[in-house]
Structure 1
Amino acid sequence: MDAVSHYWRDNGSAFASHVALSGLLALFPFFIFGASLASFIGAFTYTPQKIKALLQLLPDVIAEPLSQDIVNVLTIQRRGVLTVSVIGAAYFASNGVEALRTALNKAYRVVDRRSLLFCRFQSLFFVILGAFGLVVISFLLILAPLIIKIMQDHSFFITEYIGVIRLWRYIIAAVVLFVSLLIVHKWLPAERRKFIDVLPGIVVTMSVWFMASLAFAQYLTMFDYISTYAGLASIMVAIIFLYILSAIFILGGEINAAIMFYRNYLHHSDE
Structure 2
Amino acid sequence: MRKIVALRRVLGDALGHFNDDDGWAMASHLAISALMALFPFLIFATTLASFLGAQAFAETAVHLVFDTWPDQIAAPIAREVVNVLTVQRGDLLTFGVALAGFFASNGVEALRTSLNRAYRVVETRSIWFRRTQSIVFVLIATVGFVAISVLLVFAPLIARFLEARFDWIQPYMGTITLWRFVIASAVIVFALVAVHIWLPAGKRRLVDIVPGIIFTLIAWLIGSTVFAAYLDNFASYVTTYAGLASIMIAVVFLYIVSVIFILGGELNASVRRYLDARAKVAG
Alignment TM-score > 0.5, same fold? yes
Unaligned runs of 5+ in 2: 1-11
Question: Which is worse superposed, 31-40 or 72-81?
Answer: 72-81
CA distance in 2, matches of 1:164, 1:76: 33
CA distance in 2, matches of 1:139, 1:209: 28
Instruction: Go from structure 1 to structure 2 and tell me whether the alpha carbon gap of 1:150 and 1:58 turns closer, same or farther (over 3 Å shift).
Output: same
> Does residue 243 of the first structure (1) align with residue 255 of the second (2)?
yes
CA distance in 1, matches of 2:248, 2:272: 36
Instruction: Go from structure 1 to structure 2 and tell me whether the alpha carbon gap of 1:146 and 1:265 turns closer, same or farther (over 3 Å shift).
Output: same
Unaligned runs of 5+ in 1: none
Instruction: Go from structure 1 to structure 2 and tell me whether the alpha carbon gap of 1:50 and 1:262 turns closer, same or farther (over 3 Å shift).
Output: closer
- 1:131 pairs, out of 138, 142, 147, with 142
- CA drift of 1:61 comes to 2.3
CA distance in 1, matches of 2:167, 2:95: 48
Identity of aligned residues (%): 47
CA distance in 2, matches of 1:5, 1:130: 33
Partner of 2:114: 103
CA distance in 2, matches of 1:225, 1:232: 9
Contact 2:68 2:181 in 1 (8 A): no
- CA drift of 1:92 comes to 0.4
CA distance in 2, matches of 1:214, 1:145: 28
Partner of 1:91: 102
Partner of 2:9: none
- 2:73 pairs, out of 58, 62, 72, with 62
Partner of 1:221: 232
Contact 2:14 2:263 in 1 (8 A): yes
Deviation per CA, 1:152-173, whole angstroms, max 9, x where unpaired? 9xx7545433357664554343
Relative to the length of structure 2, the TM-score reads: 0.85
- CA drift of 1:80 comes to 6.0
Deviation per CA, 1:10-45, whole angstroms, max 9, x where unpaired? 110100000000000001110011112222332333
Relative to the length of structure 1, the TM-score reads: 0.88
Instruction: Go from structure 1 to structure 2 and tell me whether the alpha carbon gap of 1:87 and 1:196 turns closer, same or farther (over 3 Å shift).
Output: same
Count of residues in correspondence between the two structures: 267
Alignment of 1:1-271 (within 5 A): 1-46=12-57, 50=60, 53-54=63-64, 55-79=66-90, 82-136=93-147, 138=149, 143=153, 146-147=156-157, 156-157=164-165, 159-162=167-170, 167=178, 170-222=181-233, 223-271=235-283
SS at match of 1:114: coil
CA distance in 2, matches of 1:120, 1:133: 20
CA distance in 1, matches of 2:243, 2:271: 44
**RMSD of equivalent CA atoms:** 2.5
CA distance in 1, matches of 2:215, 2:182: 17
SS at match of 1:110: coil
